[in-house]
Amino acid sequence: MTDLLNILVGEWSVEARHPAFPGLVVAGRASFEWLEGGHFLILRSQAEHPDFPDALWVIGDGKAHYFDSRGVRRVYEMSVGEAVWRIWRDEPGFAQRFEGRLSDDGDTFSGVWELSRDDETYESDLEILYRRA
């Protein structure tokens, strides 16, 4: 699991697109670093748009703990393998899932968050692209 996570360590520029803001590309930045001891990966992200929250993730042991500037906190399940990172939570009425893929050269990482409000149908919620800074 840590091979892909190790590749993500460093600074990234971010572009995000959300269906609630057609045509808008939200710039931002993110950093991945191992917490001392190497058991948990810390992801910090900042968006350059007031409607998109800044966030902190604590990642490890098959879990991803999310906290953001709105006061939202969530716990996700996750898996990593073969340059693919999956994150999900099956919260009734607000299920989410993410699948991100690392490029062959390791310099871009892209994925899509999907959301289900009826526990059956998923819709694209947030497209995100990371470029190594």
Work out the mean pLDDT of the chain and round it to a whole number.
Answer: 95
| Reported confidence tier of residue 81, pLDDT bands at 50, 70, 90 | confident
pLDDT (0 to 100) of residue 4 = 77
Q: Which two tokens stand for residue 59?
A: 């990642």
Residue 59, CB half-sphere, CA atoms under 13 Å: how many? Answer: 25
Dist CA 70 CA 121 (whole Å): 26
Backbone angles phi, psi at 39, to 5 degrees: -95, -25
Q: For the whole model, what pTM was predicted? A: 0.93
CATH topology of domain 2-132: Lipocalin (2.40.128)
Q: Predicted confidence band at 1 (pLDDT cuts at 50, 70, 90)?
A: low
CA separation for the pair 77, 65 (Å, rounded): 9
Give residue 2's pLDDT band: very low, low, confident or very high (50, 70, 90).
Answer: low
- The domains of the chain are located at 2-132
Distances (CA, A) of 88 to 106, 110, 114, 129: 23, 16, 9, 18
CA atoms within 13 A on the CB side of 109: 27
pLDDT digits 0-9 by tens, 17-34:
999 999 999 999 999 999
